[in-house]
Structure formats: structure tokens, C-alpha cells
């Protein structure tokens, strides 16, 4: 079942056919749609080549953000993924101005119901439960449904006694669901606490960006914490810190490499080696194989 | 001069007038009792209508009142034999958080709380109750110690949020908060939390999960401070008042959603207007809840705690 690294290209061929595949521009200054995309290093990239290279710029190594479905296609064994709780729908509980429209727009643009997709499948033949966030949906913010799906995923991993693998990509707690969003930090931490006490493995992969309420809950609770190169990871956003301390932040501040240097990330792993690294770790948590 | 908010001005004006009238009556030997009584009745009605109908933003102001009691005030009053314990055994001692052991209502307890300063000078030392990762880890250390010795944990929440700065990020603010949340959710001793002022963001939750969550009548608890929320949503911290209205951060809102278990009444006008009465009111509620959860079977306690958090938001 273990795929050779070269075969991951075929995985990409697969999701290129899926309706979810679009190269998402990361800022409005970039070329919006189509065959070409401009990287932050100014290199013009052919989107087909970019996809073949795991959406990593061949020139500067910049890791473009993936959609949840791209991540699933890239990480899980083909056709192994079965989604959980696909019908859970966020609601505007606080009647927060503009939120209902924001949700509708995000759903239309991403084809997702919420900022996270959860389910089970295999990675290199290992059975796992996965949590995959999508930063394209209201910056991957965590409200009640995101928290609920993450907690249920942890509970299913416990029930099935399989490892949990989570890919976070989030700006933090969702303001528009107020205190209920904050409490999802407690909810996800509680569910992971049970997994922890049962001696089950939880691999947390921090991708760009993992901030605030998500990093300060399930993001940093992994037994093993991996991160993608250059990913923004932290608690407070850089803009907020700059405004607070009124000085410019040092280069590389809150990037994955900075976190590894300070002892908060086990390993920064480039995307083309991420799947194999996860497979290796999963294998090392099985005695006698 | 006490801090007087705009919406309280008519009350203070009336109270000043009553005081003047009393002085005048004493000086001149005139009997103005009837007039004074009428005015006092009016003042009471005004206070009842004002403080009984506070807007969320007005509650934020009262929750942040400089003369409001802080964690240390409650600890000193509720505990006998309190011994303060410092430090996280790793980096330092964060003055934004106080902790220690003491006896409360007969129980030997571990007690922790965010601690704001009573004045500007102390606030600079205590960083306005905004904890660093070292503060979180000091609390985590004391929680584990409580668990080892089977002591119940009492937490006082009063912070605008976790500190935001370079050092805090370098030392893993997010990791520190996350660890506390997991520890609080699985800690094998009873936990009572009281929100005594403002509870803002993950920095508040790091001391704010437990078996019973109480909130004082005019305290607030939210996903972020109204300023931070306004800055995130509209990129304008100046719209904090508006954000406070939308965040639904009052004790009354939180009780409605099952986030908290009980609202503890405050003296008319807030804790700062009658600290003695505020102490009595909180003592009664806190001791009652502490007593209740200490009598529960520990396995049952943990199951109930888990389901309480699992249910939040599933409306
Ligand atoms: Zn590039």
C-alpha cells in the first residue's frame, strides 16, 4: 500500500479531475485565475507544473495553501477516505451582523459546508482518522461546528483505537460565534485529553496559517507536531503584535522554522516528504511490524 | 475621586445633592428628613433602573473598574493559612497570575487567579493580568500538584487576554494555553471557576474550565476583548463598544447558553460600590458549589465535566 514518492504525482492527477481543484490565488495582486499563477518570489508558474510539485514553487519553495480536498487526495491512500458528519451545518447563533451572508458566500466559493473536513481512511495502509482544515473558508476559523467535528473525530479515533492525524489551517476562533467559539477550544482539548489518556497517537500537522484558538487548542496538543515550511504559526497575529509593541517584527518570526528553533515543533517537513514522514511515524507506533 | 462612568453621573449627582442637603440640615439645624427621604428613594430607583439594565459595554466598564476586587482580595478573605507559591520551575514567575494553597470552607485547596494591579504602578508589574506562557505553566504546575495531593482547585478569572508580544510567542503562548485546557479537562480533582471581572480569550480559558463556572453579575466572558474583536472584524479597535454588543459576553447571555452554571449577584452598582457585601455574596455561592462538587464521586465528576464541554454549542 505504501506509495513511492514518484506516485504522488498520480494522486495529483486524480484530484485535478475533481471539482474541487482550482489554484487559489493567495492575494488579489496575483494573477487571479487560469493557467498561470505568480508566486510571491515573482516567478510565473504554470499551474499544471505547480500541481505536479505539490503546489510548491519550484523556484523559492513557497508552499501554496491547499484546499481540504487537495490535502486529502495528497495524503490518504486513493479511494480510502470516507467522510464523517458531512451534513453538519454552521448557524448564526448570535445573530451577528453579516455572518449569515459570510457563511453563504464561503460555502458557495469553496463548495464546503464548514472550514473542516473529517473522516477516516488509510495512509500507507495504516488506518487513521483525519481532520483537515481549509483556510479558504472564513480563514479556517473555528466555530461550534468546526469544534464539534474535531471532537467527534477524536472520539471516533478513540472508539476505533486508531491514530488521529490533524492538518490545521486557521486564523483562530471565529469571532462571529462569540463565547461559543472560545468554548470549542475547551471541547476539542477535552476530547483529545481522552485520546491521550487512552495512549493513542495524535499527529498534528500545522500548515499555513495556524493561529489563536486553533493553535492554542488541538493544534499544539499533538504527541508529534509537524509543520510545513514557512507556515505562519503562533498565538497572536503578527499585525496585532506589531500594533501592540509598536515595532517591526524580526524576519522569520512565527514561521514554522522559528517554532522548531524554539522547541515547539518536532519537525518542519517539506510537503513532498510529508506523507512519507507520517507513514514512517505511524509505522513506528505499531510494535512488531 | 472615584471613577464615575457617564451613565452613572445622574446617580452620583443625586447622591452628592443628598449629602449636601444632609450637611445643610445639620449645619442649620433644619429638619429636612422628608425631602431627604424622597431624594434617597429616587436615588435608589435610579440605581435599580440603571444597574438593572446595563448594556453589554457598560458591563465591560464595570467589569474593568479599577476599584473592583481582584483575585488576591478574594483569596485573602476566603482562605485561612494561605501560602503563595511562585514560579513555573522552568523560566520564571509571572506576576500576572497568583497561586498557592490555603484552606477554604474547611477544604485544603489549590487556588489560582489572574491578578490585575490596583493602580498603574502595580498594573505595570502585573501586566494588567495578561499572562505570559510562564503564567500558564505556573498554573499547570499548581494544578498537577493539586491533583497529586487530591486538593480541589479554585480559579479566579480576570484578564483581558493572554499577553501578546515577541517573548510570549517565542516561549509558546499557544502551546501553554493548549496544555492547560487539556489538563483542566482531565484533572482528577474538583474545579470551581469564578469569573470576577473580565474573561478574555484563551488567556482566560487557560484558568477557566472546570466542574462549576460561576460569573459575577456584571462580569463578562468572551472569545476576545471587544477591542481585539473590533480590530479583527473591522480593523478598528475604536469600535469596541459595538463589538461588545454583538459578542453576547454578559453573564446573563452565558447562562442562557449553558456555558456557565450560576450568576453570583453583586451589590447594587457593582462590586466596587460595596466590597464587603460583594465578598459575602461570592463566599456563599463559591463555598456552596465547592462543597457540592467535593462530595461527588470522582469518576462521575470527570464524566460530567466532559459532557458539559462536549455539549456547548450543540444548540
Ligand atoms: Zn516562488
CB-based contact, B252 to chain A, within 8 Å: no
Q: What integer is the mean pLDDT of B156-180?
A: 97
CB-based contact, B259 to chain A, within 8 Å: yes
A100 & A203 share domain: yes
* Contact call for B174 and A94, based on CB within 8 A: no
pLDDT exceeds cutoff 90 at A288: no
- For residue A29, being part of any structural domain is answered with no
- For residue B315, being part of any structural domain is answered with no
* Contact call for B165 and A245, based on CB within 8 A: yes
- For residue A199, being part of any structural domain is answered with yes
pLDDT exceeds cutoff 60 at B262: yes
B104 & B47 share domain: no
A175 & A55 share domain: no
B21 & B63 share domain: no
- Decide: pTM greater than 0.95: no
Residue among A183, A241, A253 minimizing CB distance to B259: A183
pLDDT of residue B1: 61
* Contact call for A234 and B247, based on CB within 8 A: no
B119 & B18 share domain: no
- For residue B164, being part of any structural domain is answered with yes
- For residue B160, being part of any structural domain is answered with yes
B292 & B273 share domain: yes
- Tell whether the torsion through CA atoms of B145, B264, B96 and B204 is positive or negative: positive
| CATH number for A92 | 3.90.226.10
| CATH number for B235 | 3.90.226.10
A259 & A196 share domain: yes
B138 & B166 share domain: yes
CB-based contact, B246 to chain A, within 8 Å: yes
A51 & A145 share domain: no
Whole-number Å distance, alpha carbon B166 to ligand 1 midpoint, is 28
CB-based contact, B245 to chain A, within 8 Å: no
A133 & A208 share domain: yes
A142 & A56 share domain: no
pLDDT tens digits, residue range B66-76? 999 999 999 99
* Contact call for B173 and A185, based on CB within 8 A: no
Q: How many domains does chain A have?
A: 2
pLDDT exceeds cutoff 70 at B162: yes
- For residue A86, being part of any structural domain is answered with yes
B103 & B242 share domain: yes
A73 & A92 share domain: yes
- For residue B168, being part of any structural domain is answered with yes
Query: Judged by CB atoms within 8 Å, which residues 144-183 of B form the interface with A?
Result: 162, 164-166, 168-175, 177-179, 181-183
B249 & B305 share domain: yes
- For residue B244, being part of any structural domain is answered with yes
- For residue A26, being part of any structural domain is answered with no
ipTM of the complex: 0.95
- For residue A16, being part of any structural domain is answered with no
Q: Which domain holds residue B156?
A: 59-310
Residue B2 pLDDT level (bands cut at 50, 70, 90) = confident
pLDDT exceeds cutoff 60 at A19: no
How close B202 gets to chain A, by Cα (Å)? 7
Last-in-domain residue among A64, A80, A109: A64
A46 & A86 share domain: no
Residue B103 · residue B94 · CB < 8 Å: no
A53 & A123 share domain: no
| Chain B residues with beta carbon closer than 8 angstroms to that of A262 | 170-172
Residue B213 pLDDT level (bands cut at 50, 70, 90) = very high
Q: Which domain holds residue A74?
A: 65-288
A276 & A252 share domain: yes
pLDDT of residue A243: 84
B32 & B175 share domain: no
Secondary structure (H, E, C), chain A: CCCCHHHHHHHHHHHHHCCCCCCCCCCCCCCCCCCEEECCCCCEEEHHHHHHCCCECCCCCCECCCCHHHHHHHHCCCCCCEEECCCCCCCCCCCCCCHHHHHHHHHHHHCCCCCEEEEEEEECCEEEEEEEECCCCHHHCECHHHHHHHHHHHHHHHHHCCCEEEEEEECCECHHHHHHHHHHHHHHHHHHHHHHHCCCCEEEEEEEEECHHHHCCHHHHCCEEEECCCCEECCCCHHHHHHHHCCCCCCCCCEHHHHHHCCCCCEECCHHHHHHHHHHHHHHCCCCC
Residue B114 · residue B202 · CB < 8 Å: no
pLDDT of residue A17: 37
- For residue B1, being part of any structural domain is answered with no
pLDDT of residue B30: 87
Whole-number Å distance, alpha carbon A29 to ligand 1 midpoint, is 14
Whole-number Å distance, alpha carbon A107 to ligand 1 midpoint, is 29
B250 & B204 share domain: yes
Residue A129 pLDDT level (bands cut at 50, 70, 90) = very high
A56 & A143 share domain: no
Residue with cell 519553495: A61
| Chain A residues with beta carbon closer than 8 angstroms to that of B253 | 179
pLDDT tens digits, residue range B170-197? 999 999 999 999 999 999 999 999 999 9
Q: How many domains does chain B have?
A: 2
A58 & A122 share domain: no
B99 & B69 share domain: yes
B227 & B168 share domain: yes
B234 & B89 share domain: yes
- Describe the crossing of helices A178-197 and B298-311 by its angle, rounded to 10 degrees: 140
Amino acid at each position: 500500500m505504501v506509495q513511492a514518492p514518484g506516485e504522488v504525482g498520480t494522486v495529483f492527477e486524480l484530484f485535478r479531475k475533481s471539482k474541487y481543484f482550482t489554484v487559489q490565488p493567495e492575494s488579489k495582486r496575483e494573477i487571479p485565475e487560469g493557467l498561470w499563477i505568480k508566486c510571491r518570489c515573482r516567478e510565473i508558474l504554470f499551474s499544471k507544473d505547480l500541481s505536479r510539485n505539490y503546489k510548491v514553487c519550484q523556484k523559492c519553495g513557497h508552499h501554496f495553501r491547499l484546499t481540504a480536498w487537495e490535502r486529502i487526495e495528497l495524503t490518504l491512500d486513493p479511494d480510502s477516505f470516507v467522510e464523517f458528519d458531512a451534513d453538519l451545518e454552521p448557524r448564526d447563533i448570535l445573530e451577528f451582523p453579516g455572518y449569515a451572508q459570510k457563511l453563504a458566500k464561503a460555502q458557495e466559493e469553496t463548495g464546503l459546508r464548514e472550514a473542516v473536513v473529517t473522516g477516516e481512511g488509510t495512509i500507507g495502509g495504516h488506518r487513521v482518522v483525519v481532520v483537515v482544515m481549509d483556510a479558504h473558508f472564513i480563514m479556517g476559523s473555528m466555530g461550534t461546528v468546526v469544534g464539534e467535528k474535531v471532537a467527534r473525530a477524536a472520539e471516533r479515533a478513540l472508539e476505533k483505537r486508531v491514530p488521529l492525524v490533524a492538518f490545521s489551517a486557521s486564523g483562530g476562533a471565529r469571532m462571529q460565534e462569540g463565547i461559543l467559539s472560545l468554548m470549542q477550544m475547551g471541547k476539542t482539548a477535552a476530547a483529545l485529553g481522552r485520546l491521550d489518556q487512552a495512549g493513542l497517537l495524535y499527529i498534528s500537522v500545522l500548515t499555513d496559517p495556524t493561529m489563536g484558538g486553533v493553535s492554542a487548542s488541538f493544534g499544539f496538543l499533538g504527541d508529534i507536531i509537524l509543520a510545513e515550511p514557512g507556515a505562519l504559526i503562533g498565538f497572536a497575529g503578527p499585525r496585532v503584535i506589531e500594533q501592540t509593541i509598536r515595532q517591526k517584527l524580526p524576519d522569520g518570526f512565527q514561521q514554522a522554522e522559528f517554532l522548531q528553533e524554539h522547541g515547539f515543533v518536532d519537525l518542519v517537513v517539506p510537503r513532498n516528504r510529508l506523507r512519507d514522514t507520517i507513514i514512517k511515524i505511524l509505522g513506528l507506533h505499531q510494535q512488531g511490524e | 475621586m472615584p471613577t464615575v462612568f457617564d451613565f452613572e453621573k445622574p446617580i452620583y449627582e443625586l447622591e452628592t445633592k443628598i449629602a449636601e442637603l444632609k450637611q445643610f440640615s445639620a449645619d442649620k439645624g433644619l429638619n429636612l428628613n422628608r425631602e431627604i427621604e424622597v431624594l434617597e428613594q429616587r436615588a435608589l430607583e435610579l440605581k435599580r433602573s440603571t444597574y438593572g439594565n446595563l448594556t453589554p459595554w457598560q458591563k465591560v466598564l464595570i467589569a474593568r473598574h479599577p476599584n473592583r476586587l481582584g483575585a488576591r482580595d478574594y483569596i485573602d478573605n476566603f482562605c485561612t493559612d494561605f501560602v503563595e507559591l511562585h514560579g513555573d520551575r522552568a523560566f520564571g514567575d509571572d506576576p500576572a497570575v497568583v497561586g498557592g494553597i490555603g484552606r477554604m470552607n474547611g477544604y485544603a485547596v489549590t487556588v489560582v487567579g489572574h491578578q490585575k494591579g490596583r493602580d498603574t504602578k502595580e498594573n505595570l508589574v502585573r501586566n494588567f493580568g495578561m499572562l505570559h506562557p510562564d503564567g500558564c505553566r505556573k498554573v499547570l504546575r499548581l494544578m498537577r500538584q493539586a491533583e497529586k495531593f487530591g486538593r480541589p482547585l479554585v480559579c479566579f478569572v480576570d484578564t483581558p487576554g493572554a499577553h501578546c508580544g515577541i517573548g510570549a510567542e517565542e516561549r509558546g503562548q499557544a502551546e501553554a494555553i493548549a496544555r492547560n485546557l487539556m489538563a483542566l479537562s482531565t484533572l482528577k480533582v474538583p474545579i470551581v471557576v469564578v469569573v470576577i471581572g473580565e474573561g478574555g480569550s484563551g488567556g482566560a480559558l487557560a484558568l477557566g474550565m472546570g466542574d462549576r463556572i460561576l460569573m459575577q453579575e456584571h462580569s463578562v466572558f468572551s472569545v476576545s476583548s471587544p477591542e481585539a474583536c473590533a480590530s479583527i472584524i473591522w480593523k478598528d479597535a475604536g469600535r469596541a463598544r459595538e463589538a461588545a454588543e454583538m459578542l453576547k459576553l454578559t453573564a446573563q447571555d452565558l447562562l442562557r447558553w449553558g456555558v456557565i452554571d450560576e450568576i453570583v449577584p453583586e451589590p447594587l452598582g457593582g462590586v466596587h460600590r460595596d466590597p464587603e457585601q460583594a465578598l459575602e455574596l461570592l463566599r456563599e455561592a463559591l463555598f456552596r458549589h465547592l462543597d457540592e462538587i467535593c462530595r461527588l464521586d470522582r469518576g462521575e465528576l470527570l464524566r460530567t465535566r466532559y459532557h458539559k464541554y462536549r455539549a456547548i454549542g450543540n444548540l
